[in-house]
Chain A
Amino acid sequence: MSFLFGRRPRTNTVDLPKQAKEQISKLDGPGAAAKAEELAKTLGQMKFVLQGTQETESSPEQIYSLVTGMIQEDLLYLLALNLYRLPFESRKDAQVIFSYVLRFRPPSASPKSEPMALSYVINNRPEVLVELCNGYNHTESAAPAGTVLREVLKSDAATAIILYHDPSEGSPGAKGLTGIQPEARQSGRGVFWKFFDWIDRGSFDLSADAFNTFRDLLTKHKTIVAQYLSTNFDLFFNKYNTMLVQSQNYVTKRQSIKLLGEILLDRANYAVMTAYVDRGEHLKICMNLLRDPRKMVQYEGFHVFKVFVANPHKSIAVQKILLINRDKLLEFLRHFLEDRTEDEQFIDEREFLIKQIRNMPPTPVEPAQKPALLGSQAR
């Protein structure tokens, strides 16, 4: 690690991206290990240009030339693509490089403007974001890619690009911001849909990291997400319910039930919520969660269940399920998570649900209001 200390970068800053690009291209060839070492050094130098060292401050001019160089050489894409092949420390360096570069604004630019590299990626090279997501294909790259992604997802444009990535035959998919068609339904082949697999099947680390990114994708930019979920309601919730809510992975299951509750209760997602709680089969899944042997699953499930019951315009299907189970539900809820004696909100809500269920009319009543959303496509 000695190269990290003391020495000044000897290569000219402008040449670093080019050099890195060459080294990446040789990762496959003979002497790959040696090349990886050299690449590690180059990346280390780039990091110091961006971060500065204890002795030297970083200079905006140098960073500017580095960033433009990286854009010219398409280095961000190459780095994202090859992240998993880098040596351990280099992956962390790459993560730092990404974070700095994608945040960098030239001193002259207004602080409100989009950072130059990020703007370039969003408009011209969205594949960088896609490849960062694909970092979850490899354990090695999952954490650094995830860290960069969550940083980038603070931008609504970047979020939209990942959500709307939809490669079709013959076209690469990522089209940049201008290519997005929010009204078109997703095919499910886009990179966003891979998150379900990563979360469900990955190792604990990978799955947890992917879930954090997934959560950010779905919660940071509410209007985009509300539109997206409305358009792709069936595709999304089918996958969500089967792969996440009913996952065999305890953590995935719990976290996704919680996230589901958050999504449904978000004001921006009102239309999605009403459509969700309109479905009998969703209620079934949810009621089974209440009977899960694990208390925290029950508890998280409760917070979804309450939405069904509290809905003043319950669908016929939902009413029927609730009515046929009314006595059991009343009995069940009376003793549901009894040890939560100090969770007042929970107790209040439980009481409220009991009251609601008890006061339901004995036969299903046609709801006065139907969900605005997707009456047509849902059934």
Chain B
Amino acid sequence: MSIEAGASQYTVLHELGSGSFGTVYKAIDKTTGEIVAIKHVSTFQARQLTQADLNQIDLESTDEDIQDIQSEISILSSCTSPYVTQYKASFLRGHKLWIVMEFLGGGSGLDLLKPGNLNEAHVAIICRELLLGLEYLHQEGKIHRDVKAANVLLSTSGKVKLADFGVATQLTNIKSQRNTFVGTPYWMAPEVIQEAGYDYKADIWSLGITALELINGGPPHADVHPMKVLFLIPKQSAPRLEGSQYSRDFKDFIAQCLVKDCDRRPSAKELLRHKFIRSAGKVEALQELIERRQLWDGARERPSHPKYYEETLSVLNPTKATSTANIHRHTMSPKNDPDEWVFDTVKKATVAARKNTTKRRKLSVIHANGQGLASGAEEALKRLDIKDAPLDYSSPPPATVIRGTVRRQPSVVLASPTKPRQPSSQRRPLQPDMSFGNSASTVRVFRRVSDNSTAAQVDSDISVPGTTRDENRPPMAETVTKDAIYGRRLFNKVIDPSFQEVHAQTGNQAKRDALSRLADAWSALDAIDPEGEYQLMKLLLEKVQNDPKLAAHLSPSKTTSRDGTPQASPQKSGAKLVLAQNNPHLKSHRRRQSSMLPEDPKEKLANLPGQAIPGMEHTKQLADVLYGRWAGGLRNRWPGA
């Protein structure tokens, strides 16, 4: 009852976005009028996937899922600080867990970076507020473990709060530090990488990196592959802030945060006494940043139409209550289904029935009732599930592009070419952290796709930072003809991933810019005229084939384009698949992925391992390649993984 009461307390307004493990809604607490953010996690789905993926893990550890979530929520609920996003409540509906959090309208640190890098004064304020948040958490015996701009949230008034503390990693990743580790290498302290075991000082390092991120637009080594970064961070000397435009205090602050020996690294409390922090201004000054970002958004983005929740929770509740009740009864009582267990008959068959018959009768009456109600109830449940699904978006996502390169969103998935799907990812204009994902988004390689979605973040962190994309396009032209479909497919499977890969491999900034301009141009072509795109490619391939020399050199690429696998080297993919199956990260990753992708199981299967993000399927091939390297590297480090 209070479960339902918990749900009915909130009226859901509209969807804010969906994260790696659930959808986030903006809602009003009816009792207080307060705006909150609600996200929900499908425990069931997590379960199922665990079951499917972690076969070697027995019941014992699958069970830890729920218990972990429980204990994490209790940690969450024991935190109250003005510098930390506030947990409000959580409730279960069916097998879905909803978590109610404080709503922060100012966006994340990452959002604030979109229009451009921050200046020193702003960074100082944010750092101070983060230190206060970290001081609180550390004093409470908690380690955040994932401090970065994407996990910094601002209220509209400029208040800065740490988000996703602990929960992020622990809720999504089962108890595994290593998973967290895989999460966001760029921000990781050396001792974390070296498995020296980490304590709260690791957060201080991450804070230093975050400060660099805010001032430079990305963390150090942002253009290096994340896996390589894992080797660079412990090996190289600690990054420093460079440039004459920055004050000595700022540079010293960064240097203090980024002391490689964690024993010599100061605590949050000590850093609060640092001159750079003491001279920081008021949080209200950050409102400029929020405004700047809103202006910037406004300039490039059509007003986003929030997707309204079809039904409010309170309306849903009664339905839900009855439907679960019915289903429950339904499952609890024998059905007419010929396959169902027969208990009544058993009794009839027994002459010497010891039980009184009235009881039996009752059972069958219930079952008859249950039968009638149940079909309706099941339908109701299905409807609910669809609604809960973080998928279909009715509105074009807001523009999120850095450097003004507007990329279209390759929305058509092969399985359903006529039904454009928008990736859920883009829709988080306000609270990117809700994803609970780890976004490596300011990482330079991936810069143009940086604000991508939570859904994509998971990918971008670990496997293919470069493969996620912006989508800013209005719903795309209908692709009806076969050529057009192939054109789209070509783009999604071949062209775009190839651009991504080449781009990622290109070090020179000028070359890169040129490349992204070409990629943009191509994507524009794809958006407007997939047929033409197809024809063009066809011609290109024909011409290549007609030239014997070129054909000889380029033949592999020709084949790849045919079967749609842009992998650079085929053997990688094989090796990687095997690896991926056992990789703990991928498992949780996949679980997260699929918790947001409840539909289209075929497609999901086809996409295994991993990376089934709606609208992002085109990236998965490349993702696989990169993931393979990544996983291989990890395996070298930890053969046990």
Contact = CB atoms under 8 A, between A and B. Distances in A.
Interface of A: 88-89, 92, 143, 201-209, 212, 246, 248-251, 254-255, 258, 280, 284-285, 287-288, 291-296, 299-300, 303, 316-317, 320-321, 323-325, 328, 332, 339-343, 345-346, 379
A288 B334 CA distance: 8
A204 B73 contact: yes
B51 A340 contact: yes
Given A287-B341, A288-B332, A295-B47, A343 B58 contact: yes
Given A204-B90, A320-B349, A340-B55, A295 B48 contact: yes
Q: Which 4 A-B pairs have the closest CB atoms?
A: A342-B55, A208-B70, A250-B95, A324-B346
Interface stretch (B59-67, B102-110, B278-286): B59-67
A257 to B, nearest CB: 11
A188 B63 CA distance: 30
17 contacts: A203-B2, A204-B92, A205-B73, A205-B90, A208-B70, A208-B74, A212-B67, A249-B3, A251-B43, A251-B92, A254-B66, A255-B66, A291-B341, A295-B51, A299-B51, A341-B55, A343-B56
B231 interface: no
Given A258-B63, A343-B58, A292 B331 contact: yes
A202 B342 contact: no
A250 B59 contact: no
Interface in B158-202: none
Contacts of B234: none
B78 A143 contact: yes
B331 A296 contact: no
B154 to A, nearest CB: 22
B549 interface: no
B608 to A, nearest CB: 13
B89 A203 contact: yes
Contacts of A92: 78
Given A201-B2, A296-B62, A317-B354, A250 B341 contact: no
A242 B51 CA distance: 27
A303 B59 contact: yes
Contacts of A324: 342, 345-346, 349
Nearest to A323: B346
B48 A296 contact: yes
Nearest to B359: A281
A89 B80 contact: yes
Contact of A203 (B80, B90, B346): B90
Contact of A345 (B58, B78, B92): B58
A294 B95 CA distance: 9
Nearest to B381: A293
B341 A325 contact: yes
A314 to B, nearest CB: 14
Contacts of B51: 295-296, 299, 339-340
Contact of A320 (B6, B325, B350): B350
B364 interface: no
Contacts of A208: 66, 70, 73-74
Contacts of A89: 80
Contacts of B343: 284, 321
B91 interface: yes
A230 to B, nearest CB: 22
Contacts of B92: 204, 249-251
A89 B327 CA distance: 42
Contacts of A284: 341, 343
A367 to B, nearest CB: 15
A144 to B, nearest CB: 9
Nearest to A329: B341
Contacts of A343: 55-56, 58
A201 B91 CA distance: 11
A43 to B, nearest CB: 16
Contacts of B339: 328, 332
Contacts of A325: 341-342, 346
Given A203-B89, A208-B70, A251-B66, A300 B6 contact: no
A204 B3 CA distance: 7
Interface in B517-575: none
A275 B96 CA distance: 35
Contacts of A300: 59
Interface in B315-348: 324-325, 327-328, 331-334, 339-343, 345-347
B268 to A, nearest CB: 13
A299 B59 contact: yes
Contact of B52 (A258, A328, A339, A346): A339
B341 A202 contact: no
B1 A291 contact: no
Given A89-B80, A204-B73, A254-B66, A320 B346 contact: yes
Nearest to B332: A288
Contacts of A88: 80
A342 B355 CA distance: 42
Nearest to A283: B343
Contact of B328 (A205, A248, A285, A303): A248
B94 interface: yes
B434 to A, nearest CB: 18
B44 interface: yes
Contacts of B56: 342-343
- Which residue, of B92, B333, B339, B342, has the highest number of chain A Cβ atoms within 10 A? B92
B341 A328 contact: yes
A250 B43 contact: yes
B97 interface: yes
Interface string B1-38: 11100100000000000000000000000000000000
**Could you say which of A201, A204, A292, A346 has the most chain B C-beta atoms within 10 Å of its C-beta?**
A204
B77 interface: yes
Counting chain B CB atoms within 10 Å of each CB, the highest count among A203, A249, A255, A339 belongs to A203
- Which of B58, B70, B94 has the most C-beta atoms of chain A within 10 angstroms of its own C-beta? B70
Given A204-B97, A205-B73, A379-B354, A250 B44 contact: yes
Contacts of A317: 354
Nearest to A247: B328
A291 B90 contact: no
Contacts of B327: 293
Contact of A205 (B44, B77, B94, B345): B77
B52 to A, nearest CB: 6
Nearest to A288: B332
A250 B94 contact: yes
A296 B52 CA distance: 11
Contacts of B77: 143, 205
Contacts of B346: 320-321, 323-325
Contacts of A294: 44, 47, 95
Interface in B485-504: none
Nearest to B346: A324
Interface string B347-388: 101100011000000000000000000000000000000000
Given A201-B1, A288-B332, A209 B340 contact: no
Contacts of B67: 212
A292 B330 CA distance: 10
A204 B345 CA distance: 39
Nearest to B87: A205
Nearest to A303: B59
Contacts of A258: 59, 63
Nearest to A211: B70
A233 to B, nearest CB: 18
Contacts of A293: 327, 331
Contacts of B47: 294-296
A122 to B, nearest CB: 27
A294 B42 CA distance: 12
Nearest to B350: A320
A357 B37 CA distance: 52
A349 B340 CA distance: 22
A346 B51 CA distance: 12
Contacts of B341: 284, 287-288, 291, 321, 325, 328
B320 to A, nearest CB: 10
